[in-house]
């Protein structure tokens, strides 16, 4: 276990916000986690669990303990003719896991290549990209009850997954700490290339459709479109894509016939927030130390030395403009701490 006092969180959040935590603790096993939780409970201290900090916006110093998992092991727990179950430590880097599964010839995670963050967060956020979501491959989630210290295994269904949502984000927020996620990956080739320009990029490059080529194509697309947090602080998509009902959709499409959308089954239509923000003229907008990315307007960026108030003020301005123009209230995907 590694314990730091008065710890700078600058390198622990991809937005690059310079705040501190009273205590920062990294644990290497479930036993270490349960003993820290007992201590925290005894002292009645606030705590927060983070992953790689790629979806957080710290608004101020954190007076309490921040926990981070160093549990990174990958174990095969079950194997059949057509699938393999991989139990992965919550502290493993997400893309290391994707790389590992691609290298083993296992299908299902490749479209989620190069998403920042850790395995534990994949199960909380239900990360998604290029037509796939973490929920499509999650078999179950192992977690520790913060109150009792007991282990509980949540089946995929019990996690209550939907677009960028899980039970851990809302109903059970702060109640459980995820220690392991088990993914079921397929040995049988099945690709999903129809979202965005994945298939076109593969065609242009003259590549065969293989796991490696799909992964490399998605990495290429993401690198071209999304800013690297090491160069420009950001937390990926700042807002979720709103889902509107059929009446609202009909009203909008009549007024804006070129509006892009994706059908969400019975739930309505998903409108890209990037398009809404772009239409409001924010693409490439800069104010003070913050801005809107010039290629992907869904991403807010720290131009250098920004504090969270500046980011939140810009986010608020965007929310208001989108609401005034389209009557849609877009909601941040990023967690304000």
Which residues of the shown chain bind ligand EPU in the complex (CB under 6 A)? Answer: 129-130, 195-196, 226, 236-237, 240-241, 260, 272, 274-275, 278, 283, 296-298, 333
Q: Which among 145, 132, 79, 67 is positioned nearest to 106, based on CA atoms?
A: 79
Q: Is 164 among the catalytic positions?
A: yes
Selected catalytic residue, list 164, 186, 199, 321 = 164
Q: Is 333 among the catalytic positions?
A: yes
d(CA 73, CA 82): 23
The residue of the chain with the least Cβ separation from ligand EPU equals 236
In the numeric block, the tokens 């801005």 are attached to 291
The answer to whether 76 and 127 have CB atoms below 8 angstroms apart is no
Least distance CB 133 / ligand EPU (angstroms): 10
The answer to whether 308 and 289 have CB atoms below 8 angstroms apart is no
Taking the least distance from each CB to ligand EPU, the nearer of 40 and 112 is 112
- Positive or negative, the CA dihedral 52, 161, 80, 215 is negative
User: Contacts from 42-51 at CB under 8 Å and sequence distance 24+?
Assistant: 48/337, 49/120, 49/177, 50/12, 51/90, 51/91, 51/117, 51/118, 51/120, 51/121
Q: Which among 232, 196, 180 is positioned nearest to 74, based on CA atoms?
A: 180
Least distance CB 130 / ligand EPU (angstroms): 5
Selected catalytic residue, list 28, 32, 158, 333 = 333
Taking the least distance from each CB to ligand EPU, the nearer of 196 and 288 is 196
d(CA 112, CA 248): 31
Least distance CB 257 / ligand EPU (angstroms): 13
Least distance CB 131 / ligand EPU (angstroms): 7
Taking the least distance from each CB to ligand EPU, the nearer of 217 and 241 is 241
Taking the least distance from each CB to ligand EPU, the nearer of 121 and 144 is 121
Selected catalytic residue, list 54, 101, 122, 237 = 237
Q: Which residues have a catalytic role annotated?
A: 164, 237, 333
């Amino acid at each position: 276990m590694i314990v730091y006092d008065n710890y700078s969180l600058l390198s622990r959040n991809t937005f690059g916000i310079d705040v501190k935590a009273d205590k920062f603790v990294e644990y290497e096993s479930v036993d270490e986690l349960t003993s820290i939780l007992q201590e925290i409970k005894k002292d009645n201290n606030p705590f927060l669990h983070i992953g790689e900090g790629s979806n957080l916006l710290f608004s101020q110093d954190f007076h309490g303990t921040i926990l981070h998992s160093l549990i990174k092991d990958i174990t095969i727990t079950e194997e059949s003719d057509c699938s393999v179950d991989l139990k992965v430590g919550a502290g493993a880097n997400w893309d290391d896991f994707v790389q590992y599964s691609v290298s083993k010839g296992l299908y299902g995670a490749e479209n989620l290549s190069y998403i920042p963050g850790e395995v534990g967060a994949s199960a909380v956020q239900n990360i998604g990209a290029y037509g796939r979501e973490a929920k499509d491959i999650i078999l179950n989630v192992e977690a520790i009850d913060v109150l009792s210290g007991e282990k509980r295994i949540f089946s995929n269904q019990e996690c209550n997954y939907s677009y960028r949502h899980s039970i851990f984000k809302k109903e059970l927020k702060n109640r459980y700490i995820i220690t392991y996620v088990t993914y079921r990956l397929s040995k049988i080739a099945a690709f999903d290339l129809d979202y965005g320009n994945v298939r076109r990029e593969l065609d242009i490059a003259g590549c065969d459709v293989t796991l490696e080529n799909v992964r490399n194509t998605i990495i290429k697309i993401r690198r071209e479109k999304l800013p690297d947090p090491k160069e420009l602080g950001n937390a990926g998509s700042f807002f979720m894509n709103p889902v509107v009902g059929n009446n609202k959709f009909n009203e909008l499409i009549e007024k804006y016939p070129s509006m892009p959308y994706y059908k969400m089954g019975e739930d309505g239509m998903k409108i890209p927030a990037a398009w809404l923000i772009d239409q409001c003229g924010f693409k490439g907008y800069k104010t003070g130390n913050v801005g809107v990315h010039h290629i992907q307007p869904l991403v807010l960026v720290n131009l250098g030395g920004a504090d969270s108030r500046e980011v939140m003020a810009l986010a608020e301005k965007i929310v208001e403009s989108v609401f005034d123009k389209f009557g849609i209230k877009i909601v941040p995907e990023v967690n304000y701490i």
